[in-house]
A and B are shown apart, each in its own frame.
Chain A
Amino acid sequence: AAGVIQSPRHLIKEKRETATLKCYPIPRHDTVYWYQQGPGQDPQFLISFYEKMQSDKGSIPDRFSAQQFSDYHSELNMSSLELGDSALYFCASSPQGYNGELFFGEGSRLTVL
């Protein structure tokens, strides 16, 4: 069965550069969540989308933005990267409704030098 696809899996950037992470949800899933997980930390919720509209916003820095496109894939854009942005970024998708499970991707590891 198709899973949540995240790309790239690994990304190395310099400070002050920009990065874009992509997430392709499972077909027919209309809800996407983004999480950031620093070393030794629990996943922190960043932002979520339902039917291409932002549905909830967590601890996402102003330097970050995200959107969900008409094909339901989502992109997380990060600008003016800082060393502290180095983390694993997970995307999860879920079908319509709140009583189902979330399906997580393998994550994108961002390293900022």
Chain B
Amino acid sequence: DAKTTQPNSMESNEEEPVHLPCNHSTISGTDYIHWYRQLPSQGPEYVIHGLTSNVNNRMASLAIAEDRKSSTLILHRATLRDAAVYYCILRDTFNKFYFGSGTKLNVKP
């Protein structure tokens, strides 16, 4: 049921920006795009979500393509604490919320 596609892994240098892509070509007009991250043996943590417009919060920015078939999570300055698995998930009007295979982000000092 996963409707998103993400790279298996990415690497970044500390204090540099990171752009994590997600493809969701079958997204419907009412699906919200959510991003969560998970550290080992911890519960997933909410990062950001949006519908059509780009979103910013204290953790990250979410850039949504005009056709909504893809989105990018932007961490403006990666820190070692940002090393985690990042999941892009679509939440629909039926409240379905399925994890796909996320992106494991490695941050190098």
Contacts and interface: CB of A to CB of B under 8 A. Distances in A.
21 contacts: A33-B97, A35-B99, A42-B85, A42-B87, A43-B38, A45-B1, A50-B95, A56-B94, A56-B95, A58-B1, A92-B97, A98-B91, A98-B92, A102-B44, A102-B97, A103-B46, A104-B36, A104-B44, A105-B43, A106-B42, A109-B41
Contact of A45 (B42, B93, B99): B99
**Interface range on chain B: under 10, 10 to 19, 20 to 34, or 35 or more?**
20 to 34
Nearest to B42: A106
Contacts of A44: 99
A25 interface: no
B42 A43 contact: no
Looking at chain A, what size class is its interface with the partner chain? 20 to 34
Shortest Cβ-Cβ A-B pairs, 6 listed: A104-B43, A101-B46, A43-B99, A104-B44, A42-B99, A98-B95
Contacts of B38: 43
Nearest to B31: A98
A92 B45 CA distance: 10
Nearest to A101: B46
Contacts of A48: 95, 97
Contacts of B44: 43, 90, 92, 102, 104
Contacts of B51: 99
Interface string B42-74: 111110010100000000000000000000000
A107 B43 contact: yes
